[in-house]
């Protein structure tokens, strides 16, 4: 089974992806790390030197390479579902799980983690909140296509067991 974890930056995709994959002996991958490995550059470095369109193309290509793998959880970048036909592709290849997180929670987390995230690096704390609201609005039509939508406050260690029981 292929599971794609989706959500805005700071949502906790990697945290839950690692925890759930360990419980179920699934492989865990982080799409940003896969792009970084392939390019030999950090995501911030790719945005700066080669631009966002270049990053999005590599992101899509590496996402598609997961067609050949199985039994994994892939933590996607916050923007992954919103470019090319990525959302449709993920829905046709596996189970998409979107983690929805309230704006104030995202803001608190992202204030502490701005530096390696190129889209928010240069924003003040006030501008960050406005950016999160605007981007979430733009992205809701993609995130809303996920097969499973979870509220971050109600996720626990048993959530994935319930998903497996219900969907697999």
User: Residue 20 Cβ, how far from ligand S3P at the closest point, in Å?
Assistant: 16
Query: For ligand S3P, which residue of 105, 119, 123, 164 counts as binding (CB under 6 A)?
Result: 119
Minimum separation from the CB atom of position 164 to ligand S3P (A): 24
Tell me the two tokens of residue 166. Answer: 């219900």
CA 80/CA 75 separation, integer angstroms: 10
* Distance of closest approach, residue 28 Cβ to ligand S3P, in angstroms: 13
Query: Does 12 contact ligand S3P by CB under 6 A?
Result: no
Among residue numbers 78 through 107, which ones bind ligand S3P (CB under 6 A)? 78-79
**Site residue total, ligand S3P (CB under 6 A):** 9
Binding mask 36-75 for ligand S3P (x = CB under 6 A): -------x--------------------------------
Of 138 and 164, nearer to ligand S3P (C-beta) is 138
Stretch that binds ligand S3P, among 65-73, 117-125, 140-148, 157-165 (CB under 6 A): 117-125
3-class secondary structure per residue, the chain: CEEEEECCCCCCHHHHHHHHHHHCCCEEEEHHHHHHHHHCCCHHHHHHHHCHHHHHHHHHHHHHHHHHCCCEEEECCCCHHHCCCHHHHHHHHCEEEEEECCHHHHHHHHHHCCCCCCCCCCCCHHHHHHHHHHHHHHHHHHHCCCCEEEEHHHCCCCHHHHHHHHHC
CA pair distance 50, 131, nearest whole angstrom: 23
Count of CA atoms in the C-beta half-sphere (13 A) of 164: 15
Minimum CB distance to ligand S3P, residue 143 (Å): 11
Residue 17 interacts with ligand S3P (CB under 6 A): yes or no = no
Footprint of ligand S3P (CB under 6 A): 9, 32, 43, 77-79, 117-119
């Amino acid at each position: 089974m292929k599971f794609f974890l989706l959500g805005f930056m700071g949502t906790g995709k990697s945290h839950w992806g690692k925890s759930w994959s360990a419980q179920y002996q699934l492989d865990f991958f982080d799409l940003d790390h896969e792009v970084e490995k392939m390019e030999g550059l950090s995501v911030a470095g790719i945005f700066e030197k080669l631009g966002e369109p270049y990053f999005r193309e590599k992101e899509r290509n590496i996402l598609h390479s997961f067609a050949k793998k199985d039994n994994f959880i892939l933590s996607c970048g916050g923007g992954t579902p919103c470019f090319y036909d990525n959302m449709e592709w993920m829905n046709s290849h596996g189970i998409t799980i979107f983690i929805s997180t309230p704006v104030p929670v995202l803001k608190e987390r992202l204030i502490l983690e701005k530096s390696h995230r190129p889209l928010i690096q240069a924003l003040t704390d006030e501008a960050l909140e406005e950016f999160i609201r605007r981007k979430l609005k733009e992205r809701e039509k993609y995130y809303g296509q996920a097969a499973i939508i979870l509220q971050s406050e109600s996720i626990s260690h048993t959530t994935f067991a319930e998903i497996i029981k219900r969907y697999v």
